Structure 1
Amino acid sequence: MLITACSLPILLFNGIDVYLNHALDPINIGFTLVFFILAALAEEILCRVVFLGLLVEKYGEWNSLIASSLLFMALHFLNPNVTPVAAINLFLAGILLGQVFLYSGKNLLFATIFHMGWNFTQGSLFGFSVSGMAIGQSLLIQQAPAGSAWSGKNFGLEGSVECTVVLILAISLLSWRQSKRAHSGTAQEPDTLLFTRGLEKAELAGRQYPQDRTLR
């Protein structure tokens, strides 16, 4: 959803021609998926579980989010084609990923899947470079003119102004939602727990329904 919101304006208004890749190799996509999973897992463990997880207990939520996001941004400075806009977006992405980790009850699996999905969607589906690095194959093939700040230049989607806007909106929405939950007294229940409880209620209702029919 977030990647689509970033991608469509870039693809529609920057003179980029997009083609379906009819020679897509599933094995190549599989290896890329494994790479994204391992990369996301390593970054989540370092930046969120270790760094953010330790800081948040002592320095509070936003101080810790900012510190861990600066670390996340710095880890990507060695990537090729980094621009000032890309650096800002890396910092904002660190904030968003930190929120996902904290608001899911520090769920490493949930945070890793979100992180991996972010990278896989922009790289292997839409065909953008991921944090400045080109991806082997993608579902869509782009033929673009010289890049601008609007299209992310050679850094990819994360170097675009569109990405900046979407990240700010996503961070604001999560902050507002968490604040609303705090005022309603449900802030201590992470999203993953609420989702699990919903599944349990649905399963219980499914068990009761056949019994009601039998009684009739």
Structure 2
Amino acid sequence: GVLFSPLSLLLSLLLYFLVAVTEEVIGRGFILGRMLDGGVNKFVALFVSAVLFSLMHLFNPGFAFVPFLNIMLAGCFLGASYIYTRNLCFPIALHWFWNWIQGPVLGYKVSGNEFSSENLLILHFPEENLINGGTFGFEGSVLCSLLLVLGTILIIKR
């Protein structure tokens, strides 16, 4: 189904902006940035910051191995964009729209959380599995894993 609620979409846009800014300042700006400034190898720093970013989501509903892996891969994807630009604007924008499109627009849970029932698209899965992400949302799917690996490789290759 489809439910168009402009106010709900705008409020969720603001919420996900605040989430993105907070998580990116901590994950990329502070953790990754400090390690890079301290002379840690960029790939080691990227991996460590991505693992810590994933652990920040440890108590989210439905957190399991695939969601842990995908949030870690998302940390690599966002961290690679930070390493490439050395600016938080790009990872904040990626994180912001990743969450907003995934939740309020497409109707998935975002990292296991559902902040509103007024999503643009209302999804009903016949079953929850590793293809659609199950109870964790798209970030619990193997399709998400593939997209994050490809995105990270593209950024690193640049």
Q: Considering only aligned residues, what root-mean-square deviation do their CA atoms show, in Å?
A: 1.1
Distance 2:127 2:73 in 1: 25
Distance 2:124 2:91 in 1: 32
Matched, 1:108 2:101: no
User: Which of 28, 40, 44 is the aligned partner of 1:59?
Assistant: 40
> What residue is the counterpart of 1:181 in the other structure?
none
- How far the C-alpha of 1:59 sits from its partner, in A, is 0.6
> What residue is the counterpart of 1:200 in the other structure?
none
Q: Secondary structure at the match of 2:123?
A: strand
Which amino acid in structure 1 is aligned with residue 77 of structure 2?
Answer: L
Q: 1:146-165 to 2 correspondence within 5 Å? A: 146-165=127-146
> What residue is the counterpart of 1:180 in the other structure?
none
User: Which of 117, 140, 158 is the aligned partner of 2:121?
Assistant: 140
> What residue is the counterpart of 1:20 in the other structure?
2
> What residue is the counterpart of 2:21 in the other structure?
41
User: Which of 104, 118, 129 is the aligned partner of 2:98?
Assistant: 118
> What residue is the counterpart of 1:127 in the other structure?
107
- How far the C-alpha of 1:109 sits from its partner, in A, is 2.1
**Is the Cα contact below 8 Å between 2:104 and 2:120 reproduced in 1?**
yes
Which amino acid in structure 2 is aligned with residue 20 of structure 1?
Answer: V
After superposition, what is the alpha-carbon deviation per residue over 1:147-197, rounded to whole angstroms, capped at 9, x for unaligned?
A: 0111100100000010111111111122222xxxxxxxxxxxxxxxxxxxx
Unaligned runs of 5+ in 2: none
- How far the C-alpha of 1:108 sits from its partner, in A, is 1.7
Unaligned runs of 5+ in 1: 1-18, 178-216
Which amino acid in structure 2 is aligned with residue 162 of structure 1?
Answer: L
Aligned residue-pair number = 156
Q: Secondary structure at the match of 2:122?
A: strand
Higher percent of residues as helix: 1
Identity in percent: 33
Distance 2:70 2:132 in 1: 13
Regions of 4+ moved over 6 Å: none
Which amino acid in structure 2 is aligned with residue 172 of structure 1?
Answer: I
Tell me the TM-score normalized by structure 2: 0.94
Specify which structure has the bigger relative contact order, considering alpha-carbon pairs within 8 angstroms and separated by 6 or more residues.
2
